[in-house]
Amino acid sequence: MRKIVIAGNWKMYKTQAESQEFLQGFLPSLEQTPQDRDVILCVPFTDLNVVSKNLHGSRVHLGAQNVHWEEFGAYTGEISGPMLTEVGVRYVIVGHSERRQYFGETDETVNLRIKAAQRYELIPILCVGETKQQRDAGETERLIINQLEKALVDVDQNKLVIAYEPIWAIGTGDTCEAKEANRVIGLIRSQLSNPNVPIQYGGSVKPNNIDEIMAQPEIDGALVGGASLEPESFSRIVNYKVLSPENTLKS
């Protein structure tokens, strides 16, 4: 049985005070959440400590949004694995398209960061996905296979989560059709040596599309940006409804 993993990615949003306010609204809604769903919040570095304290005793795991490959050193602006685990971080997003696009992240640095995460007992959430141009040019499959090949060199696939995030669907409200996301995620799974790696879909996941997304057989969870910032919308997402087979067929 593959795990269900739902992660919020707060990106560069929320001060410490705002993060505490969020948790007050969000944590009570988890009482209804089935136990087989892992819930993660990937928060900005300055929020990690306070969110860690506030999550104590809850079922939510703490996540960060980046990790450097060295244990320490002269790397201004970076953060290391031991610094993250010290404050209770368990997961870390690696290779998000915003890091690739704006901060020069490459498949090679993504690979270094994934291996470092695993070395320090953090579970990496590896993001892969194509641009609109690449999709229109019919390059989606080749690109994703290439991203996976490079990112996963010498990586332990027993301690890994993958997120398929088509770049054109991120923050645009333009969700990838659930069936198409299911197809690409099936392709990703076919490239892995461990078929039980949880594979999430990410890109404009919202309360009104989560049930259909989670009804797809290959999709094991979601990586949620904008809709993870409000307690009500993220609660609805983690408490997604399992559609009956008739509803799934209709969609």
Amino acid sitting at position 80 = S
For ligand PGA, the binding residue among 25, 28, 34, 171 (CB under 6 A) is 171
CB of 169 to ligand PGA, least distance (A): 6
CB of 73 to ligand PGA, least distance (A): 28
- Phi and psi (nearest 5°) for 33? -80, 125
CB-based closest residue to ligand PGA = 225
Spatial separation of the C-alpha atoms in residues 106 and 97, rounded to whole Å? 10
Q: What is the DSSP letter of 171?
A: T
Single out the residue of 119, 144, 121 nearest to residue 134, CA to CA. 144
Question: How wide is the angle at C-alpha 102 spanned by C-alphas 63 and 108, nearest 5°?
Answer: 70
Segment interacting with ligand PGA, rule: CB under 6 A, options 31-39, 131-139, 190-198, 201-209: 201-209
CB of 101 to ligand PGA, least distance (A): 11
Q: Is 96 an active-site residue?
A: yes
Task: Find the distance separating the first CA and the last CA of the chain, reported in whole Å.
Answer: 25
Under the criterion CB under 6 A, does residue 130 sit at the interface with ligand PGA?
Answer: no
Q: Binding marks (x or -) toward ligand PGA, 26..65, rule CB under 6 A? A: ----------------------------------------
9 to each of 141, 155, 244, 246, how far by Cα in Å? 25, 23, 29, 32
Asked if 120 and 81 touch (Cβ cutoff 8 Å), the reply is: yes
For ligand PGA, the binding residue among 205, 213, 214, 215 (CB under 6 A) is 205
> Which member of 105, 165, 212, 218 is catalytic?
165
For ligand PGA, the binding residue among 81, 166, 203, 221 (CB under 6 A) is 203
CB of 74 to ligand PGA, least distance (A): 30
Q: Is 68 an active-site residue?
A: no
Asked if 193 and 226 touch (Cβ cutoff 8 Å), the reply is: no
Positions marked active-site? 96, 165
List residues near ligand PGA by CB under 6 A.
Answer: 9, 165, 170-171, 202-205, 223-227
